[in-house]
Homo-oligomer: A and B are copies of this chain.
Amino acid sequence: MAETVKVLQKVGELFGHSFTFKDYKVGGAAWAATEAAGETPSHLPQTTLEGCETSDAILFGSVGGPVDKQHEPQWKDCEKNALLGLRKRFKLAVNLRPSKVYPFLSHLCPLKPSIIGTGVDMVIIRELVGGIYFGEHKREGDKAFDVMEYTVEGIKKPMIFAFEAARLRRKKVTVVDKANVLECSRLWREVARDVHKNYPDVELDFMYIDNACMQVIQKPSFFDVVATGNMFGDILSDAASVLPGSLGLMPSASLGDGLHMYEPSGGSAPDIAGKGVANPIAQILSGAMMLRYSFQLEKEAAAIENACETVLRSGKLTGDLLEESQRSNAVSTSDIGEAVVKAL
């Protein structure tokens, strides 16, 4: 996050904007702070929510604790409580996550070159405040229930966003669902066909989630824009997120009604936390997305994206982007931040 702030400040200087940053704790850090202050411990304290509310955008770090401490109250459900809480509170209904294999980093993609083919460049648009995540969850004796639910309104928002996004790209929307089984998916298809009427220049097709997970491995170049529900989007975007070669490369945006949130696609990496070796690119690119979607600073966003690409191309790379044998050449988190500032 420190590198991202540096980069944003530099962009402010260069383009004549000034950004005001305020820090609020979330996740395990918030838990510890609220506990120390004698408050009810929380992964998403009231002060943080209020801080977000009075801001123009949320730039989110990563939350999640050490693997071996997941059962301690400080870390238990910390990611879920923080993320679902923010999504719900700020109605962050439309999540977008790109997955792109940079040609000059394609050797890092787990897929064979013949599979990468003409390249991988997709955006997954995931509905983020509905579906089985926010339906009823219930235990009754020996039985458990979870309810998936969708309304036409709830589907329309991400769907319209997907068609708009496709217009600026390769003009293809693939709706991913399980319409042979789920009523919710059948409703998704109806809404998709309906919204499609306003976008005759965009191609629309449908794919079952099981097939989509196959195609991400077998023929990822097929996808341009994917529109899908909360659960399937969670699964598919995580599958797609490994294609670039490192979770440290891809940003994400979660759009609400006015207030939006930006965060790296990957979660925290507790094993390397604080060592100064994490790849800051995904966080920096999340900052670029913030400039684009919250502040309509398209030129500035593109400048950051180009600067990141320049740095990656130059071969200045953190360890996650290097083969094991090359890892002694890794540069630090702040080296990358500084290189991006310089490239700007």
Binding site for B on A (CB under 8 A): 77, 79-80, 84, 109-112, 115, 132-133, 135, 137-139, 142-153, 178, 180-184, 186-187, 209-211, 213-214, 216-218, 231, 234-239, 241-243
Contact = CB atoms under 8 A, between A and B. Distances in A.
B186 A214 contact: no
18 contacts: A79-B180, A110-B217, A110-B218, A138-B183, A139-B187, A142-B151, A143-B151, A144-B151, A144-B183, A145-B184, A147-B148, A209-B235, A210-B234, A210-B235, A213-B213, A213-B239, A214-B241, A216-B239
Given A147-B147, A210-B237, 20 more contacts: A79-B180, A80-B180, A109-B112, A111-B112, A132-B132, A135-B145, A137-B182, A139-B186, A142-B152, A143-B152, A143-B187, A144-B150, A145-B184, A146-B147, A146-B181, A209-B234, A211-B238, A213-B213, A217-B239, A235-B235
A209 B186 CA distance: 23
Nearest to A323: B114
A109 B231 CA distance: 27
A187 B152 contact: no
The 4 closest A-B pairs by CB, nearest first: A210-B238, A144-B187, A137-B183, A213-B239
Contacts of A143: 149-152, 187
Contact of A132 (B148, B150, B152, B241): B148
Contacts of A133: 181
B142 A153 contact: yes
Given A112-B111, A143-B149, A151-B142, A213 B184 contact: no
Contacts of A184: 144-146
A145 B148 contact: yes
Nearest to A238: B210
A184 to B, nearest CB: 4
A213 B235 contact: yes
B218 A238 contact: no
A144 B186 contact: yes
Contact of A181 (B132, B151, B209, B213): B132
A213 B213 CA distance: 8
A200 B100 CA distance: 44
Contacts of A241: 214
Nearest to A145: B149
